[in-house]
C-alpha cells in the first residue's frame, strides 16, 4: 500500500484529537503499518467555523457522500455522534467496502448488532473501543485477554460525570444540586445533564459491554436504569458510617444461562476495587471463573483519551489490512438472550425509613422482612428531631428483587411507616 486514506465524520474535540494524534505519531504509525496514514476528507456541518486544529480548507466537506462514495478512502472514522443519520452513513460506508471506527455509544447500543453484521458481510472491520470508557481498552480486554475464560460478572463505573458528582458530594458533604452546578461550571457536566445523571449513558455502555462479555444480544431496553438525582447527603453519610461508598454502578451478572443487566446508585463496600475510583475516572471490574477479579481503570472521556482509543482501533484496522484479514474479528453472539426474572436477581439492599416512634413499630417492620425470609446484616435506629418519629436504617442480607419489592409495598401499607426515604442496592465484599 502506498498510503492509507481516512475519511473523518465530525471535527469536534474528539475529531480534532484524532487529526492531532495522526500527525504527531505519523512516524510511529509508519513503523507499525508500513505506510503513511493520511486524513483525506473531513465532514463538518459548518465549513467556515473556527477549528481547534489546523485543517486545510479543501479537505472539509458538508456532503457525507464526498467521503462515503470516495473510492480512495479506506477507513471511515465516525466521531460526529447522533443515531439515525449516522447509522445510514456507516451502513453506506460498510456497503462501499470501507472499514469503520466509531466512538459512538448511543449508536452502538442501539444498532451495534446490525452494523457488525453489515461489516461482516462486506468483509470490513467495525471497531468501537472508544464507545465504552474512552481511554480504557476494555473491549479488547474482554475479547482477547479473557478469551479462554467464562465471564460471570461485570461491574462498571462507566460515566465520568456522575462519578465526579458523587465523589464531590461524598468529599464535601454537599447537596446534589450544588455539586451538579459546580460540575457544569467546570465542564464535567453538560447544561442538559439528563442522559448522564439519569443513568442512560451508563446503560448504553453496559448494553455494549454485556453483549460482548456474555456473547448475547443485550438491548438497551433490557437494562434496568435508575439515576443519581435522588441521592441525598444523609444517604452518603449513613453509607460511610456503615463502610460503603456511593457509586453509580452498572452491573451485568450471569448465573447459569440467565443474565441481569442494570444501572443504579449502589452502596459499594469500601474494600471493593471500584470503591477507590474517584472524580471523573472510569473503571470496569470483570470477574471471570478462572482468572478471578480483574479491573481496568482510566479516563472515561476527554477528547485526547477518546481520540487515542479511536486511533488504536485505526491501527487495528490497518494491521488487518496489511495482513489481508479484515472483517474476521467480529465475534458474533453465541448464546440466545435469557434475562433473569425479578425472583432470580439477588442482592443486598440498604433502606432508610421514617417511622412513628410507637410500641410495636419495629416488630411490625421486621416481621414483614421475615415473612419474605429476608434477614438483616445491619440495623440502626435513631430518634429524629421531629417529635414522635424515628429513623431506621438497615442493610439486608441477600434477597431476591421480587421479595424486596414486595417488602417495599408492604412497608408502604404499614400505618407506622411515614416515609421510605431511600433505598439502594448494596454490593458486598471484593470477593464477589
Distances in Å between the alpha carbon of 397 and those of 37, 364, 370, 425? 57, 19, 12, 11
Identify which of residues 31 and 45 has a Cβ nearer to a copy of itself in the complex.
Answer: 31
Is 46 a binding residue for a copy of itself by CB under 8 A? The answer is no
As measured in angstroms, the least distance from the Cβ of 404 to a copy of itself is 30
Q: Which of 38, 146, 195, 389: binder of a copy of itself (CB under 8 A)? A: 146
For a copy of itself, the closer CB: 162 or 245: 245
**473503571: which residue's cell?**
283
Length of the chain: 432
Answer whether 153's CB lies under 8 Å from 254's CB: yes
Show the cell assigned to 113.
448488532
Catalytic residue among 41, 91, 98, 205: 205
Residue with C-alpha cell 428531631?
Answer: 385
Stretch that binds a copy of itself, among 45-53, 158-166, 229-237, 315-323 (CB under 8 A): 315-323
How far apart (Å, rounded) are the C-alpha atoms in residues 288 and 291? 5
Query: Is 9 annotated in some ligand binding site?
Result: yes
Interface residue with a copy of itself among 115, 315, 392, 394 (CB under 8 A) is 315
Minimal distance in Å, beta carbon 144 to a copy of itself? Answer: 5
Q: Find out whether 168 and 162 touch, Cβ atoms under 8 Å.
A: no
The torsion region of residue 199 among left (phi > 0), alpha (psi -120 to 50) and beta comes to: left
Interface pick for a copy of itself out of 136, 158, 374, 390 (rule CB under 8 A):
136
What is the per-residue binding string for a copy of itself in 238-257, x denoting contact by CB under 8 A? --------------------
Please state whether 173 falls in left (phi above 0), alpha (psi between -120 and 50) or beta.
left
Question: Is 205 in the active site?
Answer: yes
Report if residue 112 touches a copy of itself, rule: CB under 8 A.
no
Q: Which is nearer to a copy of itself, 52 or 220 (CB)?
A: 52
Residue 14 among known ligand-binding residues: yes
Strand ranges in 306-365 using DSSP code E only, listed in sequence order: 346-356
Concatenated DSSP letters of 236-295: HHHHHHTTEEEEEEEEEEEETTEEEEEEEEEEEETTSGGGG--TTEEEEEEEETTTEEEE
Residue closer to a copy of itself by CB (options 120, 278) is 278
CB of 203 to a copy of itself, least distance (A): 24
Binding to a copy of itself (CB under 8 A): which residues in 184-203? none
Question: Alpha-carbon distance 87 to 82, whole Å?
Answer: 8
Which residue has 456511593 as its cell numbers? 246
Interacting residues with a copy of itself (CB under 8 A): 17, 21, 25, 28-29, 31-32, 129, 135-137, 140-141, 144-150, 271, 273, 275-278, 281, 283, 288, 290-299, 302, 304-305, 307-309, 311-312, 314-316, 323, 325, 328, 331, 334
- The residues carrying an active-site annotation are 205
Amino acid at each position: 500500500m502506498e498510503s492509507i486514506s481516512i475519511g473523518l465524520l465530525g471535527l469536534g474535540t474528539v475529531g480534532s484529537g484524532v487529526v492531532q494524534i495522526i500527525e504527531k505519531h505519523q512516524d510511529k504509525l509508519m513503523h507499525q503499518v508500513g505506510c503513511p496514514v493520511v486524513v483525506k476528507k473531513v465532514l463538518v456541518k459548518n465549513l467556515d467555523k473556527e477549528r481547534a486544529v489546523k485543517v486545510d480548507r479543501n479537505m472539509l466537506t458538508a456532503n457525507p457522500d464526498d467521503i462515503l462514495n470516495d473510492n480512495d478512502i479506506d477507513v471511515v472514522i465516525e466521531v460526529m455522534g447522533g443515531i439515525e443519520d449516522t447509522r445510514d452513513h456507516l451502513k453506506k460506508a460498510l456497503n462501499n467496502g470501507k472499514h469503520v471506527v466509531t466512538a459512538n455509544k448511543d449508536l452502538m447500543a442501539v444498532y451495534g448488532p446490525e452494523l457488525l453484521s453489515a461489516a461482516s458481510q462486506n468483509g470490513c472491520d467495525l471497531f468501537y473501543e472508544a464507545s465504552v470508557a474512552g481511554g480504557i481498552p476494555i473491549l479488547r480486554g474482554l475479547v482477547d485477554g479473557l478469551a479462554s475464560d467464562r465471564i460471570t460478572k461485570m461491574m462498571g463505573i462507566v460515566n465520568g460525570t456522575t462519578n465526579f458528582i458523587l465523589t464531590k458530594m461524598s468529599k464535601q458533604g454537599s447537596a446534589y444540586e450544588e455539586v451538579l452546578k459546580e460540575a457544569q461550571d467546570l465542564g464535567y457536566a453538560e447544561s442538559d445533564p439528563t442522559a448522564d445523571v439519569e443513568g442512560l449513558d451508563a446503560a448504553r455502555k453496559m448494553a455494549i459491554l454485556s453483549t460482548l462479555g456474555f456473547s448475547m444480544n443485550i438491548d438497551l431496553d433490557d437494562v434496568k436504569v435508575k439515576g443519581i438525582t435522588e441521592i441525598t447527603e444523609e444517604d452518603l453519610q449513613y453509607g460511610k458510617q456503615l463502610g460503603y461508598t456511593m457509586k453509580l454502578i452498572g452491573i451485568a451478572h450471569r448465573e447459569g444461562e440467565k443474565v441481569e443487566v442494570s444501572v443504579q446508585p449502589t452502596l459499594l463496600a469500601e474494600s471493593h476495587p471500584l470503591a477507590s475510583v474517584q472524580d471523573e475516572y472510569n473503571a470496569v471490574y470483570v470477574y471471570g471463573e478462572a482468572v478471578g477479579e480483574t479491573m481496568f481503570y482510566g479516563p472515561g472521556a476527554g477528547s485526547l483519551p477518546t481520540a487515542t482509543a479511536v486511533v488504536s482501533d485505526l491501527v487495528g484496522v490497518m494491521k488487518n489490512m496489511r495482513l489481508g484479514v479484515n472483517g474476521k474479528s467480529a465475534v458474533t453472539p453465541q448464546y440466545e438472550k435469557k434475562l433473569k426474572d425479578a425472583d432470580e436477581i439477588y442482592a443486598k439492599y440498604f433502606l432508610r425509613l421514617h417511622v412513628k416512634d410507637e410500641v410495636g413499630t419495629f416488630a411490625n417492620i421486621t416481621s414483614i422482612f421475615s415473612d419474605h425470609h429476608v434477614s438483616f446484616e445491619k440495623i440502626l435506629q435513631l430518634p429524629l428531631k421531629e417529635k414522635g418519629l424515628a429513623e431506621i436504617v438497615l442493610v439486608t442480607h441477600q434477597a431476591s428483587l421480587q421479595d424486596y419489592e414486595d417488602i417495599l409495598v408492604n412497608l408502604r401499607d404499614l400505618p407506622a411507616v411515614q416515609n421510605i426515604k431511600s433505598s439502594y442496592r448494596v454490593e458486598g465484599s471484593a470477593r464477589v
